[in-house]
Amino acid sequence: MEVPQNDIATLVALVELLSQSSGLEFQARVILAEPSPAPGQPAILIDLSGRDAPALLANHGELLDAIESIAADILGLDDADRHRISFDSGKFRSSRENNLRRMADAAVDGVRSTAIPHIFPPLNSRDRRHLHLAIAGSGLSSESIGAEPTRHVVLYPEYTEDAPPAISTECVSAHPCA
C-alpha cells in the first residue's frame, strides 16, 4: 500500500488536535512499513508517547482504539482497509498481539486434544481479527458470533463424517452466543 504524504500529514495533525483539545500531552512518531507491510500488518504505525501516554492505554487501550477509528474515518478507509493504520503507545499493541497469539495457540492445542469447541471471551473487532489470523494456520476453523459488545470468537475442532462435533453445554452456557 503506497502511503500518500497527505495521509501522514492528516494523521499527525489529528494527533496534535487531539492533544491540544483534550489537554493531554502526547506526541506522534510515524513509522512506515517499508517497502510494503506483511499480510495483516499496518502500513502506517503512529506511536504515541509523552507525559499522558498511559491514559491512552486505560481500559485495554480504548482511547487508542477510538483515535484509530476516528483516523480511519477521516482517511475514508473502508472496513477491509482499516487495519492498514495502527496507533500504539509503549508497545501496547504488539504485547497484546503476542498475548492473543499465545491464547490462540493454547486454545488450538486444547481443541485438538478434546475435540470440544473453545469459546474465547468477548473481544473488540481488532482483537478478534488477530485471533482469527493466529488460528488460520492451524487448519481449524473459527468464527465470530454474538452481538457487540459481547461478540466473541469460537474455535472449532476438525470434523469428519465419522466424528460428529462434541459440544460442551457447560462451555456454551458460560458464554451464550445470543
37-77 tens-digit pLDDT: 666 667 888 999 999 999 999 888 889 989 999 999 998 88
Positions of CATH 3.30.1370.50 in the chain: 95-174
| Structural domain 95-174, CATH architecture | 2-Layer Sandwich (3.30)
Between the alpha carbon of residue 19 and those of residues 26, 46, 60, 166, 168, the distances in Å are: 6, 14, 20, 52, 48
**In a 10 Å sphere around its CB, with 0-12 CB exposed, 13-18 middle and 19+ buried, how is residue 57 labelled?**
middle
- For the domain spanning 5-90, the CATH number is 3.30.300.20
Question: What is the helix (H) or strand (E) element at residue 86, kind and residue range?
Answer: strand 85-88
Is the pTM above the cut of 0.75?
no
Instruction: Give the pLDDT confidence score for residue 78 in this predicted structure.
Output: 85
Apex 51 CA angle, 16 and 123, nearest 5: 80
Cell triple for residue 54? Answer: 498511559
Instruction: Give the pLDDT confidence score for residue 161 in this predicted structure.
Output: 55
Positions of CATH 3.30.300.20 in the chain: 5-90
- Over its length of 178 residues, how does the chain's per-residue pLDDT go in tens digits? 566 678 888 888 998 999 899 988 988 898 887 766 666 667 888 999 999 999 999 888 889 989 999 999 998 888 778 878 889 999 998 899 899 999 999 999 999 999 999 999 999 888 898 899 999 989 899 999 999 889 999 999 987 555 445 444 344 434 443 3
Q: Distance (Å, rounded) from C-alpha 68 to C-alpha 82?
A: 9
